[in-house]
Amino acid sequence: MRIIVQKYGGSSVATVKRIQRVAKRIVELKDQNTAVVVVVSAMGKTTDKLVAKAHSITEQPKVREYDMLLATGEQVSIALVTMAIDALGCEAVSLTGAQAGIITDNVHGKATISEIHTERIMKLLNEGKIVIVAGFQGVNLEDDITTLGRGGSDTTAVALAAALKAELCEILTDVDGVYSADPNKIDSARKLDEISYDEMLELASLGAKVLHPRSVELAKEYGVDLHVRSSFNMREGTIVKEEETLEKKRIVSGIASDPKIAKVSVLGVPDRPGIAATIFGALAEAHINVDIIVQNVNREGINDISFTISRDDADHAVATLKKLPQDMCAGGVVVDDKIAKVSIVGAGMISRPGVAAGMFRALADEGINIDMISTSEIRVSCIIARNRADDAVSALHRAFESDLA
């Protein structure tokens, strides 16, 4: 059986008219002798509205009830999409994450899929039905609804594609594919015909909004080819797949920025073994992901340690650190949330010296100061002032434009 998994984002199902257009597209795919599983997000800004309602009642809603609330957005979408398909004379069945057999761990708000029981989906596909699955959600072993974090519908789609051994996973959104930079901000941004898992994972984790990082990790782990394309036209998009070699024609594949980060500095840290392990162990137990880490030069047995995290986790991180023994951060904890991360990504830079120097020169010529730097074999990231992020991306795109071809 040829199976294709499609995922439609919130903008693709934001109105009844758009839902009807999506339904027509799904039926046309089914008519190509294909078994179709569709993952949908909540309509438009539904999740944002639900978040606002929760916080209008309490600033700190219980995480279990928060997940119970947010999961309803996708439930509305799957019912309406299924009704639209039925209206076209094709049979479809809607399933919540739990009904689709998506089992997660117990971390509310940031749950990880642990397994998928595909028996019910396969039974429906064998009966010739289209299956519409609620993205972003699952159920833990205590039968409580959990959510996968914002952007989690991408993860749902890729996980289902892997579990069902689908031929392809299509991520349909409001852009035509993966671009060298945000096309809404950079007029000269170029659509990429294909990109490697590693490059896409770097771009996704660095602020490119087209795919959720966890979904790319899963695609790479299970060898699921992704096709990122627009739900508003039939043009070919960008294929995300494994590459035979990292020796690429493109030195730089993309430029990304992430303004939703914060720098946390722990001051007055004693210079002795085990301190860093304790600090970052506490953050890990609090489910706070840490990105760039810098330890300042030792001065009389005392260090300062700075790191970047999601801005949404800043208050939680400070509260977590304040629970540590006082001598671990005798100078206090300072948060700077007026920063952004700008990054260049490309598998070709692994064998081309001078790429980082070119990035630093482009930022310097624009008068942009660099606060922190982080690198990998295929990525260079800089922390800068948030109000210069767009200027930085423009400058970097100009500097590397010939390499983006």
What is the amino acid identity at position 51? V
Greatest Cα pair distance, the chain, in angstroms, is 76
Q: Is 363 helix (H, G, I), strand (E, B) or coil?
A: helix
- Other C-beta atoms closer than 10 Å to the C-beta of 394 total 18
Which residue from 50, 52, 145 is spatially nearest to 96, judged by alpha carbons?
Answer: 145
- Taking the C-alpha atoms of residue 390 and residue 257, their distance in angstroms, rounded to an integer, is 8
What are the DSSP calls for 303-317, one per residue?
A: EEEEEEEEGGGHHHH
pLDDT (0 to 100) of residue 57: 96
Question: 63-70 vs 72-87: helix axis angle to the nearest 10?
Answer: 20
Phi then psi for residue 290, to 5 deg, are -110, 140
Which residue from 1, 21, 24, 25 is spatially nearest to 11, judged by alpha carbons?
Answer: 21
Tens digit of pLDDT per residue, the chain (405 long)? 899 999 999 999 999 999 999 999 999 999 999 999 999 999 999 999 999 999 999 989 999 999 999 999 999 999 999 999 999 999 999 999 999 999 999 999 999 999 999 999 999 999 999 999 999 999 999 999 999 987 899 999 999 999 999 999 999 998 899 998 888 888 888 899 989 999 998 888 777 778 888 899 999 999 999 999 999 999 999 999 987 543 455 788 899 999 999 999 999 888 888 989 999 999 999 989 999 999 886 667 788 999 999 999 999 999 999 988 887 777 889 999 999 999 999 887 877 788 999 999 999 999 999 999 999 888 999 999 999 999 999 999 999 887 665
140, 104 Cβ separation under 8 angstroms: yes
pLDDT (0 to 100) of residue 245: 44
pLDDT (0 to 100) of residue 247: 44
What is the amino acid identity at position 74? E
Which secondary-structure segment (H or E) carries 24? helix 16-30
316, 284 Cβ separation under 8 angstroms: no
